[in-house]
Structure 1
Amino acid sequence: MTTALSPGRTRRKAWTRALRRTAERIVFVTALVLIGALFALPLAWLLVAPFDQNPTMAVKWPQWTLSSFQRLMDNPYALTSILNSLLIALGTMVVVIALGTLASYALSRVRIPGRDALLYAMLLLSSIVTGTAAMVPTFQLMNLIGLINTHTGVILVLAGGLLPTVVFILKDFMDSVPKSYEESARLYGAGPGRILADVVIPVARPGIAFVAIWSVVQVWGNFLVPYLLLRDPASQPAAVLMYTFYTESGQADLRLISVFALIFALPVLLIYFVVNRKFGFRFYGGIKS
């Protein structure tokens, strides 16, 4: 036997549900505002502090000046360090993309026992054996082969650390390329190199673009490896040079750090927007055969 609810009780339940939804929305919006503020404040400081006569760690209306930029230009290694960072980042990206593409394509097409276990083992070991743990053997190895204080040594070490993850990511994109495409190319006489360049890479291009940007970002702010292998200040990247920005009293020089941090962030942002405009980061491939 069912009993109908009174109109008053029905209205109270409707008001309760409405109040509950309103409270949930208020809490949700408040949380979004707080999270947005946590991300926005450092960005606001990065945009404002370089133009402040006396910057502090707080975000405030600046005393507008460009003298900090002039001070940075007086540093003989400032612009050189940016170029060094670009050289190391782009060099590592080229090595990682070239070797990662070949390795991931081979693992995708060649059936070998324990292939998946090998991939997961590579990824696991690259996460466990970090740069700090391998610092001493890395230095000894580079010293043994004569690559101390060279950009080549830094690029090889950084590329070796990134390759397992790159191969793991790119293999999924290689798997998405239908084998029927390759079979059609073979009927027209295309060899393995031609098939890879003209059939596989164009389909897997969004994944390669993502890996390229990811590699640059991972290398761009890397401090440990360049600090360990590069002794000449003229060859050190920006992440290492920034460590030297201190006043005579031993305090962090916020004027130089803020200006240099702004300039240091611009190349990566520019590369991201250029690649995003060209590829759009639409991660899709062909239909698996």
Structure 2
Amino acid sequence: MRRLKSFLSNLARILLIVILIAFFLLPLLWLFTAPFSRAATLRISLPTKPTLNNFRVVLSNPISFRALFVNSPIIAGGAMIGVTLIASLAAYALSRIKVPGQSLIVYILILFSAVVTGTAAMVPIFLLLYSLKLIDTHLGTILVYIGGLLPTGIFLMRGFVDSVPRSYEEAAIVSGAKPLQMFRDVVIPIIRPGMMVVAVWAFVQSWGDFLIPMVLIRSPLKMPAPIAIYTFYTEGGTPVLTLVSAYSLIYMLPAIVLYLFVNWKYGFRFFGGIKR
């Protein structure tokens, strides 16, 4: 009886795992087959006569081309660089300078960061950028992303900075290193994995966001990829599945390539000769 119960329990777990895997893989399977079809539907089916014409149409459209290869890389790349650099410097300062209640300050910043990029804050953000004449600019969108992602980035980086022994910095000071030189040559090589984690996270967050660029960007040629996908909708609001799927497949590749490159180049792991 116990063996039967154990068998049924294991069988139920296997079925649950299979269902979960299918739940996540089936949409991806459709995404990798529909772009090569001549008339795609919502059903998953291998194209009988594969074609690359859908990609040609997507890339020949000036709005979608600029969105994929100019606008989105500028916005996501700017947010990634800004969040990574500022979060690293701020986390280093919070780790080395003892400020009363600094942990509470960090948690409050994280709490309010959820509001900065939310719908509740879009009206004041829009008015602020309008007064600064940054509406319909990539710079204004990048600054909003940095402001919203920075608190969480600081929280993530602080754990990496706290793991750096102070003896390393003391040795650098004795050797005559200046503060900026010490941070660049001693601290950054050790916290590099954390910086890469924050960089990829910030890139993905800004690359896939829809609300902020929809509110702040007005010109079609300045729209990022999440907004430009509506170029391939009909006037009645119906998506052209062949073009939307081809566009989506191209759209997802940069985030995957960035992750694979960072994982190959740096590795998402903690390493270094840290001894306390």
Structure 1 and Structure 2 fold alike (TM over 0.5):
yes
Aligned to 1:25: 10
Residues 127/90 of structure 1: CA separation in 2 closer, same or farther (3 Å cut): same
Distance 1:189 1:73 in 2: 54
Among 254, 269, 272, the alignment partner of 2:256 is 269
* Equivalent position of 1:255 in the other structure: 242
Please state whether the residue corresponding to 2:62 is helix, strand or coil.
coil
Of 34, 40, 47 in structure 1, the residue corresponding to residue 25 of structure 2 is: 40
Identity of aligned residues (%): 46
1:108 to 95, 107, 110: 95
Q: Does 2:65 align with 1:65?
A: no
* 1:131 Cα offset (Å): 2.3
Task: Map 1:275-286 onto structure 2 (within 5 A).
Answer: 275-283=262-270
1:223·1:240 contact (CA, 8 Å) conserved in 2? Answer: yes
The amino acid across from 1:68 in the alignment is: N
Q: Which residue of 2 aligns with 1:143?
A: 130
Offset of 1:204 from its aligned partner? 0.6
* Offset from partner CA, 1:34-68 (integer Å, 9 cap, x none): 00001101110110000011111121122422221
Residue 158 of structure 1, aligned match among 121, 145, 150: 145
Q: Given the alignment, which residue of 45, 69, 74 partners 2:60?
A: 74
C-alpha distance in 1 between matches for 2:275 and 2:112 = 30
Maintained 8 Å contact 1:176/1:288 = no
Distance 1:180 1:190 in 2: 14
* CA displacement at 1:230 relative to structure 2: 1.1
Instruction: Report the 3-state secondary structure (helix = DSSP H, G, I; strand = E; otherwise coil) of the residue aligned with 2:161.
Output: helix
Matched, 1:186 2:186: no
Deviation at 1:243?
A: 2.6
Unaligned 5+ runs, structure 1: 1-15
8 A Cα contact 2:82 2:146, kept in partner:
yes
Whether the 8 Å CA contact 2:33–2:44 is kept in 1: the answer is yes
Match of 2:218 among 223, 231, 236: 231
* Preserved contact between residue 176 and residue 285 of structure 1 (Cα < 8 Å): no
Partner of 1:211: 198
Distance 2:120 2:95 in 1: 31
Q: TM-score, normalised by structure 2?
A: 0.95
SS at match of 2:119: coil
Contact 2:64 2:231 in 1 (8 A): no
Q: Does the 8 Å contact 1:88/1:154 carry over to 2?
A: yes
Aligned partners of 1:276 and 1:287: how far apart in 2? Answer: 21
Which consecutive residues of structure 2, in runs of 5 or more, have no partner in the other structure? none
Contact 2:79 2:142 in 1 (8 A): yes
SS of residue matched to 1:59: coil
Offset, 1:220:
0.5
Q: 1:131 aligns with which of 106, 112, 118?
A: 118
Q: Which residue of 2 aligns with 1:243?
A: 230
**1:287 CA displacement:** 4.9
Alignment correspondent of 2:182: 195
- Rg larger for: 1
Separation in structure 2 between the aligned mates of residue 221 and residue 243 of structure 1, nearest angstrom: 15
TM superposition score normalised by structure 1 = 0.91
Aligned residues: 274
